Structure 1
Amino acid sequence: MKLIKGLLVALLVVTGLTAADKTFKNDVRVWQADNADKKITPKTIEEAFKNAGFVIAANNDMNFPFKRDFKTTHMDVYNLMVVFRKDTALALAEKYPDIGLFTPISMSIYTPKGAKTISVSTLRPEIMADMMNIPRDHPEMIKLGQKIEEALKAAMPKGKFIELPYASKKPAKEVITRITMEQQGDDWEDAKDDFETAFEEKLAPNGFVMAGFTDLNYDFDEHDKDWYLFYDVYSICSIPVIYEVSKLHPEAGAFAPCSAYKYQKKGEKTIHMAFPNVHKWIGSLNITDKPSIDVLLDAQAKFEKMLKELKEGK
């Protein structure tokens, strides 16, 4: 009997260690449901997320720009939705300034041509936590994951997470692109305005659009939290990139639009900016086709060049 008890204790210890260091076949999850009657739409999914306490920063029908720019689309439905929870940001932003990498969270809502299903892709909360330098078992990250699943189940009650036909792989390079700049002049508000103007003017000439903009510090100020002078998150999208990559990987909307944050802490004169880069896309989605890799690396090079020019005042 003592031997059996000892084995049980050992098993529980091993199980606990496995749970704490859990790995996944895929970084991205796809919740899919039958939708032959077409009653589930991007709008009804949006409403379910609102009811679960999420703020909707954007919910864009990408078939319009796809048809406009490429004269065709490979999807009957393809939306990129951007959402976040104010309580999550408030609970984590002071200790974890990388919160803006996935606040808001991106996801794709899609139905391939002729399919009778509808799917929603999201990045696993554990992977988001890793990239934001937050412990996977942090109660707020666990709660966030639960709320995402709650919204998906409410939106698509007969749905389930499906098996993806590939495994995520380790990225070849660092997956977060970062840059810091010193405040120009004595007035941080003027410096912020100048930076924003210069940044936004560079987007269109380099093939990017701003799909959404989230002022996280507005909510912090409303709750008398003065950690930051400002904390803004741009939802940046490249239509040629998502068009090409979504042909084989419609779940790529878990990364698009990309959240690029900029913040300046109170009492400091350093502006921080960062975003999850395309090497994470390539690794997480196991992208191997040359057209997708080419457009991704081209976009990465252009965005890095933009940031370098901003830092140099060009």
Structure 2
Amino acid sequence: MKKILKVFIGAFLVLGVSVCAAEIQNIQIFSVDNTKGTINAKSIEKAFNASGVVVDVNNDMNSIFSKRYGKVHHKNYNLAIFTNPKLVSKLMKKYPSIGLITPLSMSIYEDAAKNTINISTLSLAGMARVTKIPVTDPDLIEYAKAVDTALHKALPNGKYLSVNHNTKSSKPLTTEFAIEFELEDGDTYVDAKDSFEEEFESELGPVGFLIPKSYKLQHDDYDFFDTYSIIRFNAIYPVSKNHPDAGAYAPFSVVIYKKKDEKEAHIAFPSIENWISDLDIRDEATAKAVRETHGKIKTILEELTE
């Protein structure tokens, strides 16, 4: 036990995070003065890519929000998704739950009053929490360190802000389903999965979901391992008003995989309704939008896996 605790503390010290706090936070916010305006979402993307943490999508949400809702909440607000393919592949072998955070997400936002630019991502603790991968796993620690390196490269002289979010939840952290595909003559499991995903995708748009990107990952242990990055503007728009760091959770990921030695395929996503407690959302209309978003994606998957 002492050895495990020593590794746990060592991991956070390597990342430059204080372990003196009573609870380790699941979200981290890295910030720097940007009075001169020399740092922006594009320069941050370039720095991440140069650090080996690949940004696949980087969207200007103010452009979307202003057209859709006629109003924006922040001077600048971007949501981006990123991965480290090498580390994801290593973690897949041990923990299919890495798909729950593949890709990782971040919000990039400016505080006009303080002239700062900020990046919100999951911390090592947050990555371990939702995936149930041990916080002492060396590959997960390396992944968190890669994110930390990218943050420092993107925001030179930046620092982590104090965060005091709720770190516990009374609700399940993930929502999970299983299905056994029945193969028709000549079909493979990939064929059956493709048909399932085609139907899944067709159900998303009509209820307000968008797919910024999907991934088809390859590994010898799996018949297939796919993930989706999914967002619903009617949730993130109201949430981001008072909680711009919610970009550490949104877009969220849905993972669909089947191990070669198992009969069932598995589908899972991080439970969206946990945003309410995690971010201390008190506005009832905003909380309702979050619950509605969770309910809609859950209902779609329930119907498809019946």
TM-score (norm 1): 0.87
- Counterpart in 2 of 1:214? 215
- Counterpart in 1 of 2:151? 152
Q: 258, 276, 280: which one pairs with 2:252? A: 258
Distance in structure 2 (CA, Å) of the matches to 1:17 and 1:184: 45
Distance in structure 1 (CA, Å) of the matches to 2:24 and 2:294: 26
Cα separation, partners in 2 of 1:18 and 1:114, compared to 1, 3 Å: closer
Distance in structure 1 (CA, Å) of the matches to 2:88 and 2:43: 25
Cα separation, partners in 2 of 1:49 and 1:42, compared to 1, 3 Å: same
- Counterpart in 1 of 2:190? 189
Deviations 1:107-145 (A, max 9, x none): 100114555111000111122113212111111111112
Distance in structure 1 (CA, Å) of the matches to 2:70 and 2:114: 21
Cα separation, partners in 2 of 1:184 and 1:63, compared to 1, 3 Å: farther
CA positional deviation for 1:149? 1.1
Contact 1:121 1:251 in 2 (8 A): yes
- The secondary structure found in structure 2 opposite 1:75 is coil
Which aligned pairs between 1:88-237 and structure 2 lie closer than 5 A?
A: 88-113=87-112, 115-164=114-163, 166-186=164-184, 187=187, 188-217=189-218, 220=219, 226-237=220-231
CA positional deviation for 1:268? 3.4
The letter of the residue matching 1:289 is D
The letter of the residue matching 1:173 is K
- The secondary structure found in structure 1 opposite 2:258 is strand
- Counterpart in 1 of 2:9? 19
Contact 2:26 2:124 in 1 (8 A): no
Distance in structure 1 (CA, Å) of the matches to 2:233 and 2:54: 24
More displaced 10-residue stretch of structure 1: 241-250 or 72-81: 72-81
The letter of the residue matching 2:172 is E
Contact 1:25 1:167 in 2 (8 A): no
More displaced 10-residue stretch of structure 1: 115-124 or 244-253: 115-124
- The secondary structure found in structure 2 opposite 1:287 is coil
Distance in structure 2 (CA, Å) of the matches to 1:177 and 1:62: 27
Contact 1:28 1:284 in 2 (8 A): no
CA positional deviation for 1:30? 0.4
More displaced 10-residue stretch of structure 1: 282-291 or 49-58: 282-291
- Counterpart in 1 of 2:237? 243
- Counterpart in 1 of 2:304? 310
Contact 2:7 2:136 in 1 (8 A): no
More displaced 10-residue stretch of structure 1: 292-301 or 124-133: 124-133
Structure of greater Rg = 1
Contact 1:206 1:302 in 2 (8 A): yes
The letter of the residue matching 1:262 is I
Distance in structure 2 (CA, Å) of the matches to 1:123 and 1:283: 16
CA positional deviation for 1:167? 3.1
TM-score (norm 2): 0.89
Distance in structure 1 (CA, Å) of the matches to 2:112 and 2:212: 24
Contact 2:8 2:135 in 1 (8 A): no
Distance in structure 2 (CA, Å) of the matches to 1:215 and 1:18: 32
Contact 2:31 2:117 in 1 (8 A): yes
Deviations 1:137-192 (A, max 9, x none): 1111111121111111111112111123x431421210100011111324213211
Contact 2:166 2:279 in 1 (8 A): yes
- Structure 1 unmatched ranges of 5 or more: 1-11, 221-225
- Counterpart in 2 of 1:72? 71
Aligned CA RMSD, in angstroms, stands at 2.2
Deviations 1:12-66 (A, max 9, x none): 99x8498389663532110011111211111111111111112222111111221
The letter of the residue matching 1:129 is A
Distance in structure 2 (CA, Å) of the matches to 1:282 and 1:190: 38
- Counterpart in 1 of 2:15? none
- The secondary structure found in structure 1 opposite 2:76 is strand
The letter of the residue matching 2:183 is G
Distance in structure 2 (CA, Å) of the matches to 1:307 and 1:94: 25
- Structure 2 unmatched ranges of 5 or more: 13-18
- Counterpart in 1 of 2:47? 48
More displaced 10-residue stretch of structure 1: 290-299 or 178-187: 178-187
